[in-house]
Structure 1
Amino acid sequence: MSIKAHIDDAKFLISYSRYLSALTIILVAVAASAEKTFPQGEPSQRADQGQDNRCGTCGRGPSKAMGDNERFSLFLKKRIGKLLGFNSLTVEHNGRAYSLEGILYKFFRCKLVHEGALPGNVVFDTTSGLGNYLSISGGETIVLSAGLLGVLIEVVEGAKCNTHEFGRVYREFVPKWGEDEHKIVVSIAERHGLSEERILRLVAITSDITCGVVESSNDVELCEVFNKLVEAGVIERRSALVTRGIVDDQYRLQPVGVAAIRDIASHFELVES
C-alpha cells in the first residue's frame, strides 16, 4: 500500500468525520515518509544516542543509528517548521517540556499504533473545525486541535521524498547563493530587533506572499497583499507578531513587518526540483 493510498484513505475518513482513525493513518504515512527521508542505517544526529531514541512502546531503534523516534521527530520538525514558520513548538505537560513532534510521536503515533487509543491525559479536539490552523495547549492535559489533520496531510504530500507519488513539484524557500539559513535568520533578527522565531515566521509569510510580489510592490500595496492573505486564512493570526509591533491588533502589517519582509525577500528565493 502506497503513502498516497494512506492519505487518500485518511481524506475519505475525514469526509465521514472519522477524525481519530484518519489521524492514525496519516501518522503511518508520516512515519513512512520519514523512513524514505532518513533510511535505515542513517547515523543518529542526537548527542545522547541513547534510550530516548527508541520507540516508547516497542523499543524499536538501535542506539547509534537513527531510530524510529528520531527519524519521525526530525522529519516532522523540519517539515512543520517550514510550513508554519517556527523552529520548534514546545508546551509544558506535568512539569516537563515536550516539543510538538515529541508529543505526536509519544502520545499519538506510538499510542494509536501500538495500543489503539490515546492516553487519558491527551485530547484530540475536533470541536473547533478542520482548518489548517494548528493549536496546542499543555498542562495536566495536552490538547491538539483537529487542524493538525490538514497540516500533517500537507507535511506528507509536500515532502520532497513524495513529490513523484503525489505528482507535485517540490518547492522550497531557501537562502540565495547557498548561504547558511541560520546565519541569515540571526542577521535579519539582529537588524530588526526581533527574535529568530519571529523572523522564521516572517520567512514563511514572505514565501506565501512571494519575493516577486514583495519586490514589485510599494509599501501600501504590500500591506494590502498581506491583509488579503490574512483574510483568506493563508496567513494565520499569531499574537507573537502583535506584541512586537509587526502587525497591529487588527493584524494589519506595520512598518516593522514591512521592513523585515523586504529584507527576507532580498536574501531568499523559491526553488523547484
Structure 2
Amino acid sequence: MSIHQQVNDAIFLAEHNRHVGAFTLILLAIGASARKVFPEGTKKDHLAFKLFLGGRLRRILLYDYQPPEYSLSTGFTCVVGGKETDITDILYKYFRCSLAHEGKLATEVKFNSSQGNPNGYPQRPRGMAQLASWSEGEDGGKLTLDHIWIDILLEVIFHAPCNASEFGLSYFTLVPMQCIDESDFQQSFMINYEISPRMYYLLKEIVCELSPNFVLGNSESIWRSELERLSESRRISDALAELSRNKLLTSHGEFLPNTINALQEIAHSFERVPI
C-alpha cells in the first residue's frame, strides 16, 4: 500500500467517524515518509519518525522555517506520564506504538473531539486551536489529543517534499546567487531590517513559494492574493498572519515599505531551484 493510498483510506475513515482507525493509518504513513528521508540503517525507527515529524510540525504549528529541516523538538509540549514531553515523543510512544503493537491507545491518553462536533472529517481552523487537554482522574489523569490532529498530520504527509511524487507536487529551495555568502548575507540582512533569524527564514520561505521572479515582477497586492491562495491550499502556513503578529504588515494587513524592500532584496539575491 502506498502512502497516497494510506492517506486516501485515512480520509475515508475519518469522514465515516472512524477517527482512531484513520489516525492509525496516518501514523503508519508518517513512519513510511520518515523512511524516505532516513532510509533503513541510517536512523533507528523512533529517531527517524520523530526527526521527520518534528521538523514538519515546527513549520505548520509555529511557522518556524529555521534550520535544521529535521528536528526532535517542535516546541509544542504536553504533560503526560507526569512529565513535560514533546509532541513527537507523545505521538510515537503513546499513539503510534500502542496502536501498531497493541491495537489500542495507551492508558495515559485519549483521542477525542473538543470542538463540539465529533462526527466527520475534523477540519483544522486557522490559528492555534485547542490541540490537547488534560483531565484529572483517579487513574492519575489523561492527556487528550483532539481529532484535529488528523488534519494536522495529513498536512505533514501531503506537503512533505519527500512525498511530492505521491501527490503530483513540486518543491523548491532558494540558493544564493554567485558571489553571495549566505551567512554574511543573513547577518547583514537581519541588522538592516531589524528582524530575528526566525523572521529571516519565514521571509525566505515566502519568496521561495512565490518565486523570486514573481516577487520582482508583481505588486504587493498580487503577492498578498497569492499568499492567501497558498495558505488556503496549505502549501505554506498562514504566513500573512505571522507577518502581522511580528509587525511586518500595517494594521490593515498591507505590506510595510520595509517588508517590501526585504522581500525584494531576497528575490534579487537568490534563485529558486527544484529539490
TM-score above 0.5:
yes
| RMSD (Å), alpha carbons | 3.8
Equivalent residue for 1:73?
Answer: 50
Q: Is the 8 A contact 2:134 2:144 kept in 1?
A: no
| Counterpart code for 1:89 | T
Deviations 1:21-56 (A, max 9, x none): 2222111011012112212221xxxxxxxxxxxxxx
Equivalent residue for 2:274?
Answer: 272
Q: Is the 8 A contact 1:185 1:199 kept in 2?
A: yes
Q: Is the 8 A contact 1:133 1:147 kept in 2?
A: no
Q: Which runs of 5+ in 1 are unaligned?
A: 43-65
Query: How far does residue 140 in structure 1 lie from its aligned partner after superposition?
Result: 4.8
What is the aligned-residue identity percentage? 25
**Counterparts of 1:187 and 1:100, CA distance in 2:** 35
| Counterpart code for 2:208 | S
1:105 maps to which of 92, 100, 122: 92
Q: Is the 8 A contact 2:38 2:48 kept in 1?
A: yes
Inter-CA distance 6–231: structure 2 relative to 1 (3 Å threshold): closer
**Counterparts of 1:39 and 1:206, CA distance in 2:** 31
**Counterparts of 1:75 and 1:184, CA distance in 2:** 28
Equivalent residue for 1:40?
Answer: 40
Deviates further, 205-214 or 237-246: 237-246
> Structure 2-normalised TM-score?
0.68
**Counterparts of 1:118 and 1:184, CA distance in 2:** 48
Q: Is the 8 A contact 1:132 1:148 kept in 2?
A: no
What pairs up with 1:28-177 in 2 under 5 angstroms? 28-42=28-42, 66-81=43-58, 85-86=63-64, 87=66, 89-94=74-79, 98-115=85-102, 116-117=104-105, 120=108, 125=113, 127=115, 129-131=122-124, 133=126, 135=128, 140=134, 146-164=147-165, 166=166, 168-177=168-177
> Structure 1-normalised TM-score?
0.69
**Counterparts of 1:99 and 1:180, CA distance in 2:** 35
Query: How far does residue 92 in structure 1 lie from its aligned partner after superposition?
Result: 4.2
Q: Is the 8 A contact 2:174 2:208 kept in 1?
A: no
Q: Is the 8 A contact 1:215 1:265 kept in 2?
A: yes
Q: Is the 8 A contact 2:58 2:75 kept in 1?
A: no
**Counterparts of 2:216 and 2:164, CA distance in 1:** 29
Query: How far does residue 249 in structure 1 lie from its aligned partner after superposition?
Result: 4.4
Deviates further, 8-17 or 177-186: 177-186
**Counterparts of 2:191 and 2:60, CA distance in 1:** 23
Query: How far does residue 204 in structure 1 lie from its aligned partner after superposition?
Result: 2.9
Aligned residues: 246
Equivalent residue for 1:46?
Answer: none
Equivalent residue for 2:243?
Answer: 241
Deviations 1:37-87 (A, max 9, x none): 212221xxxxxxxxxxxxxxxxxxxxxxx2122111222234445667414
**Counterparts of 1:253 and 1:197, CA distance in 2:** 18
Instruction: Give the match's secondary structure for 1:90.
Output: coil
**Counterparts of 1:181 and 1:255, CA distance in 2:** 23
Query: How far does residue 208 in structure 1 lie from its aligned partner after superposition?
Result: 3.5
Inter-CA distance 171–230: structure 2 relative to 1 (3 Å threshold): closer
Instruction: Give the match's secondary structure for 1:93.
Output: strand
